[in-house]
Chains A and B, each alone.
Chain A
Amino acid sequence: MKLTAPVCSTFDVMIFLTLLRESISFAFHALRVNRLRTLLSLLGITIGIFAIIAVFTAVDSMEYKVRSSVQSLGENVIYIEKWPWAPEDGVEYEWWEYMNRPVAKVSEAEELAKRLTLSEAVVFTARLRKTVNYKTSFVENAQVQAAMYPYDRVKTFNISTGRYFTEQETEAGKAVCIIGDNIRNALFNLEDPLGKDIKVFGLKVTVVGVFDPEGESLLGNSMDSQILMPLEFIRNIADVRKEELSPNIMVKALPGVAVADLKDEVKGIMRSIRRLKPTEDENFTLNEVSILSSGLEQMFGIIGTAGWIIGAFSILVGGFGIANIMFVSVRERTGQIGIQKALGAKNWFILTQFLTESIVLCIIGGVLGLVLVWGGTAIASSALDFDFTLKASNIVLGLTISVLIGIISGFIPSYSASQLDPVEAIRSSS
């Protein structure tokens, strides 16, 4: 047999497009005729797409939120503390060793600020919980954050109304504060808080600014529920050397300086401040955001993989459902296929017709699943005060999976339909 290369003219392309359109309309007609069966068979795909995209959307939204919270801690900031945030890889968490360590001191922060060459700012902070009130309104256990002056250089925040402290206010320990949006709402409601005095520790403290609303933070470090005060003011009324106040020193690297280099410098100076011998272990920990980031990456990796497995099984079940219904569809329409072929329909026309039906079925199922996810995110966002977002990448992924399942589960039934002998097909239906 001599095979010649097919010549593709514009006419052939037109015929192909006409037949393709016809096969698509055939497919839609078949879906319309069997509405209940269509609905039942696409349910599997709908549930599968809903399961997998819902998990991905939840994971992506939580990951975004946690990452934002972690980033607000400062990516190039080192925290000098008594306790490490997480055990090092392969090293046992020696809590009994850490317990005996001294806490960070204000004098150490001052010494570091003098001697460090790679840092932009050094800040000592401590926090405590107190009840604050204004007239008859009060907030119980409000988080009071005490910090040195350059706190605004190491921590990322915005002030919506008012201003940050002046250097004189912080050094003189003036009774001034900046309050978070939640505190403002609880104490002042619609009243302008600027210049008003709130009572903390029974003392009058003047509000000079209000932080921009940040929303809830999964790490609990949102400025919305904080009251920031000069460290010197807090030192007059509380002992910031107490461990309950979580004293720590924040060191921010100069622009362009690697955190690892800054860490080395801080380590050397801290060892000299604490007079540690070369053979002695450090009695402080240098924490950085990357510790949390890598821990979070692992956590979200596990959640993502769990979602992936659940989704894979759901999709698999949905795919088998579609394949089953397509076999039934081919069986039911055997006579019709025979007549079509007897009238000159090509094999690929029959194949395209059934394959299109399968793909359309899966796309409808996938779109319904995505609509359910979208509705679910809208409800969850308003009910939980947490912003769930259905990302474009997840929509594309959902539709891709739908088309893929449509092709894979529909190809064998469609191919078997295309291979039917017209005579046998017509005979079998009569």
Chain B
Amino acid sequence: MAYTTYKRPGILTALCIIGYIVVMGSLPSIFSPDVRRLGIWFPSVLGLLIALRFIAFVGIWHMKKWGVELLLYAFLGGLIITELAGITSYYVGVPAQIIALGVAFIYYRKMDRNL
């Protein structure tokens, strides 16, 4: 079965680079004193979300639909977890994440379904 792979547009390249930087930047947050104070389970869940975001950006970099879907799940997961933990500061990053998702979804139809 032949698949047509579209070249990655510049905006997605920029999105992925920013995404990688944000993910690497947010990595130390899992062992920040504030996060540890929220509970024994919280750093693990936050770490999982960070890993999911990283994988999602790898997927988007390779123009894969699962990358966009994974980014959406990570976003929704983040919302649920932070809502449960009662962290209001998370909402500061929500508009940026919605913009990132919006940009990724614009090119969703041109992306590849396979792994």
Binding site for B on A (CB under 8 A): 3, 52, 56, 301, 304-305, 308-309, 311-312, 315-316, 346-348, 351, 392-393, 396-397, 400-401, 403-404, 407-408, 411-412, 415, 418-419
- In whole angstroms, how far apart are the Cα atoms of A404 and B51 in the complex? 6
Binds A, one of B6-14, B31-39, B81-89, B93-101: B31-39
- A3 near B40: Cβ-Cβ < 8 Å: no
A-B contact pairs, 13 of them (CB 8 A): A304-B33, A308-B28, A312-B28, A315-B27, A316-B24, A316-B27, A393-B36, A397-B31, A401-B30, A404-B51, A408-B51, A411-B58, A415-B58
Q: A305-B33, A316-B27, A419-B62 are in contact. List 7 more A-B contacts (CB 8 A).
A: A3-B113, A305-B32, A347-B115, A397-B36, A407-B55, A408-B23, A408-B50
Residue of B nearest to A403 (CB): B47
Query: Does B77 count as interface, using CB distance less than 8 angstroms?
Result: no
Inter-chain contacts of A56 with B (CB < 8 A): 31, 36
- A411 near B54: Cβ-Cβ < 8 Å: yes
The total of interchain contacts (Cβ-Cβ below 8 angstroms) comes to 69
Question: Which of B24, B32, B43, B51 meets A407, CB within 8 Å?
Answer: B51
- A411 near B55: Cβ-Cβ < 8 Å: yes
Chain B nearest CB: distance from A318 CB in Å?
Answer: 12
Residue of B nearest to A398 (CB): B31
- A52 near B31: Cβ-Cβ < 8 Å: yes
| Given A308-B32, A411-B58, CB of A401 within 8 Å of CB of B114 | no
Inter-chain contacts of B31 with A (CB < 8 A): 52, 56, 308, 311-312, 397, 401
- In whole angstroms, how far apart are the Cα atoms of A403 and B51 in the complex? 10
- In whole angstroms, how far apart are the Cα atoms of A404 and B43 in the complex? 11
Residue of B nearest to A55 (CB): B31
Residue of B nearest to A393 (CB): B40
Binding site for A on B (CB under 8 A): 23-24, 27-28, 30-33, 36, 40-41, 43-44, 47-48, 50-51, 54-55, 58, 62, 113-115
- In whole angstroms, how far apart are the Cα atoms of A400 and B28 in the complex? 12
- In whole angstroms, how far apart are the Cα atoms of A393 and B31 in the complex? 11
- A348 near B115: Cβ-Cβ < 8 Å: yes
- B36 near A312: Cβ-Cβ < 8 Å: no
| Given A401-B47, A407-B51, CB of A301 within 8 Å of CB of B33 | yes
- In whole angstroms, how far apart are the Cα atoms of A346 and B43 in the complex? 33
- A404 near B30: Cβ-Cβ < 8 Å: yes
Please give me the 7 A-B residue pairs with the lowest Cβ-Cβ distance, nearest first: A312-B28, A304-B33, A404-B47, A400-B44, A407-B51, A393-B40, A347-B115
- In whole angstroms, how far apart are the Cα atoms of A418 and B115 in the complex? 9
| Given A3-B113, A312-B28, A418-B115, CB of A404 within 8 Å of CB of B55 | no
- In whole angstroms, how far apart are the Cα atoms of A215 and B19 in the complex? 51
Looking at A311, A348, A415, the one whose CB has the most chain B CB atoms below 10 A away is A415
Inter-chain contacts of B51 with A (CB < 8 A): 404, 407-408
Question: Which of A315, A401, A407 meets B54, CB within 8 Å?
Answer: A407
- B30 near A412: Cβ-Cβ < 8 Å: no
- B40 near A392: Cβ-Cβ < 8 Å: yes
Chain A nearest CB: distance from B20 CB in Å?
Answer: 10
Inter-chain contacts of A403 with B (CB < 8 A): 47
Inter-chain contacts of B44 with A (CB < 8 A): 396-397, 400
Residue of A nearest to B48 (CB): A404
| Given A312-B27, A411-B55, A412-B58, CB of A400 within 8 Å of CB of B33 | no
Inter-chain contacts of A348 with B (CB < 8 A): 115
Looking at A56, A304, A408, the one whose CB has the most chain B CB atoms below 10 A away is A408
Question: Which of B27, B28, B41, B113 meets A408, CB within 8 Å?
Answer: B27
Chain B nearest CB: distance from A251 CB in Å?
Answer: 32
- B114 near A408: Cβ-Cβ < 8 Å: no
- In whole angstroms, how far apart are the Cα atoms of A408 and B50 in the complex? 9
Inter-chain contacts of A304 with B (CB < 8 A): 33
Inter-chain contacts of B30 with A (CB < 8 A): 397, 400-401, 404
Question: Which of A401, A408, A415 meets B62, CB within 8 Å?
Answer: A415
- A396 near B33: Cβ-Cβ < 8 Å: no
| Given A397-B36, A411-B55, A415-B62, CB of A351 within 8 Å of CB of B115 | yes
Residue of B nearest to A415 (CB): B58
Inter-chain contacts of B27 with A (CB < 8 A): 312, 315-316, 404, 408
